[in-house]
């Protein structure tokens, strides 16, 4: 009895088409993998090079003493503390306003010309170069509001810079909560706020926080906005006191310090800029790592 041709071919026989399909699949995977690797390698190289160059200077004393001898000796305490002040104060201003504004835009606002203008402004504001924010801060906070060049003025400028990005990322996080959850709540007579409080915020908080914390690195790294509004070349503050700066004081900042040491100070030790860069990077990575751990913890509690 003869067997039909189709069954002699069998289920697992290699045809040229199947071979080609598998080759293409492997090629695609390699290509994407290589691109992913291409992101990691430069980062590791940069980090390794920085740490290697900075090694002679890195120590606890370097972090906790003021610069001396025209920046050529001593540590970076006043700059490190200044950066912490700027980041914390600016986020304390931009995060609540940004998050609440995003909740309004995503949960309450009707789709009308006003909402569209606000959304458009947010997008455009997020794209404004930081030097423009710096000039705005100089005009609005330093001169017009008479805050003078101070930590407060610089933090406000940084807050204006980060707010649109926080609004955008928060909106994204809120939008990821399924509409069906909201409708289920509205159907039983819950108000929008009851819905937001019980369902929307608890299920988007990890995304919201990620967006906010990622702005830390941006705030810490920017030089232009603080240059005109509150950061100075040199300032001596009491060592070991974390409340050494007042809100109306001028301060040093790591990003600005790195810039001045590399361009303005002659005969600075070769390792110094590298050590400042490592500190800046370390601070930012520390915050980002905290954010990641926190996000993983929150995601494990995610409920759908």
Partner 1 sequence: MTQPKKIDVQNLRLSYGPKEVIHGISFHIEPNEIIGIIGPAQSGKTSLLRCINRTIDFTASAKVSGSIKVDGEDVVTTRNVYELRRKIGMVAPLPVGLPLSIYDNVAFAPRTSGMNNRSDLDGLVEKCLRQAALWNEVKDRLDSLGTKLSGGQQQRLTIARALSHQPEILCLDEFSIAIDPVTTMRIEDVLKELKREMTIILVTNLVQQARRLAARTLFLWNGEIIELDTTDVIFSERAKDPRTRDYVNGIFG
Choice from 47, 118, 148, 181 touching partner 1 (CB under 8 A): 181
Residue 194 binds partner 1 (CB under 8 A): yes
Choice from 86, 101, 167, 199 touching partner 1 (CB under 8 A): 199
Q: Which is nearer to partner 1, 23 or 301 (CB)?
A: 301
CB atoms within 10 A of CB 63: 15
* Token pair in block for residue 112: 């009308």
Q: Binding pattern to partner 1, positions 225-254, x when CB under 8 A?
A: ------------------------------
Q: Which is nearer to partner 1, 115 or 130 (CB)?
A: 115
CB of 189 to partner 1, least distance (A): 4
Q: How far apart are CA 10 and CA 17, in angstroms?
A: 15
For the chain, strand residue ranges (E) read 67-68, 73-74
Contact, 138 vs 227, CB < 8 A?
no
Q: Which is nearer to partner 1, 135 or 190 (CB)?
A: 190
Query: How many Cα neighbours within 13 Å face the side chain of 234?
Result: 12
Residue 190 binds partner 1 (CB under 8 A): yes
Handedness of CA 115, 120, 126, 131 (dihedral sign): negative
Choice from 9, 88, 198, 247 touching partner 1 (CB under 8 A): 198
Q: How far apart are CA 201 and CA 179, in angstroms?
A: 13
Tell the burial category of 216 from Cβ atoms under 10 Å away from its Cβ (0-12, 13-18, 19+).
buried
CB atoms within 10 A of CB 120: 10
Q: Which is nearer to partner 1, 183 or 270 (CB)?
A: 183
Site stretch for partner 1 (CB under 8 A), options 138-146, 176-184, 231-239, 259-267: 176-184
Map residue 66 onto helix, strand or coil: coil
* Token pair in block for residue 215: 């702005």
Q: Binding pattern to partner 1, positions 77-116, x when CB under 8 A?
A: ---------------------------------xx-----
Give the residue from 219, 204, 167, 221 showing the smallest Cα distance to 295. Answer: 204
CB of 302 to partner 1, least distance (A): 8
Residue 7 binds partner 1 (CB under 8 A): no
Site stretch for partner 1 (CB under 8 A), options 50-58, 136-144, 206-214, 296-304: 296-304
Query: Hey, which residues between 109 and 148 contact partner 1 (CB under 8 A)?
Result: 110-111
For 85-239, strand residue ranges (E) read none
Give the residue from 119, 109, 96, 118 showing the smallest Cα distance to 166. Answer: 96
Residue 196 binds partner 1 (CB under 8 A): no
The residues of the shown chain that bind partner 1, judged by CB under 8 A, are 110-111, 180-181, 183-191, 194, 198-199, 202-203, 302-304
């Amino acid at each position: 009895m003869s067997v039909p041709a189709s069954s002699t071919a069998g289920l697992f026989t290699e045809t040229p088409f199947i071979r080609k399909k598998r080759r293409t699949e492997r090629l695609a995977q390699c290509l994407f993998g290589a691109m992913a690797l291409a992101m990691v390698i430069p980062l590791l190289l940069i980090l390794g090079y920085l740490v290697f160059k900075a090694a002679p200077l890195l120590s606890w004393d370097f972090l906790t003493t003021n610069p001396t001898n025209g920046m050529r000796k001593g540590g970076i305490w006043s700059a490190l503390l200044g950066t912490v002040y700027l980041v914390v104060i600016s986020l304390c201003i931009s995060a609540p306003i940004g998050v609440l504004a995003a909740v309004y835009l995503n949960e309450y606002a009707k789709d009308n010309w006003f909402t569209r203008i606000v959304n458009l402004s947010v997008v455009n504001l997020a794209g404004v170069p930081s030097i423009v924010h710096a000039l705005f801060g100089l005009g609005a906070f330093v001169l017009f509001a008479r805050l003078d060049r101070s930590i407060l003025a610089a933090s406000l400028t940084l807050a204006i810079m980060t707010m649109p990005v926080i609004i955008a990322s928060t909106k994204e996080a809120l939008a990821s909560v399924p509409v069906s959850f909201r409708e289920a709540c509205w159907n039983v007579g819950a108000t929008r706020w009851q819905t937001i409080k019980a369902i929307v915020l608890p299920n988007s908080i990890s995304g919201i926080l990620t967006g906010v914390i990622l702005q830390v690195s941006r705030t810490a790294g920017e030089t232009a906005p603080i240059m005109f509004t509150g950061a100075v070349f040199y300032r001596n503050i009491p060592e070991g006191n974390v409340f050494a700066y007042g809100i109306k004081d001028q301060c040093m900042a790591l990003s600005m310090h790195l810039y001045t040491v590399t361009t303005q100070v002659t005969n600075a030790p070769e390792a110094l800029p590298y050590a400042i860069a490592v500190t800046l990077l370390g601070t930012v990575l520390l915050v980002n790592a905290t954010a990641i751990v926190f996000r993983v913890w929150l995601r494990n509690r995610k409920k759908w």
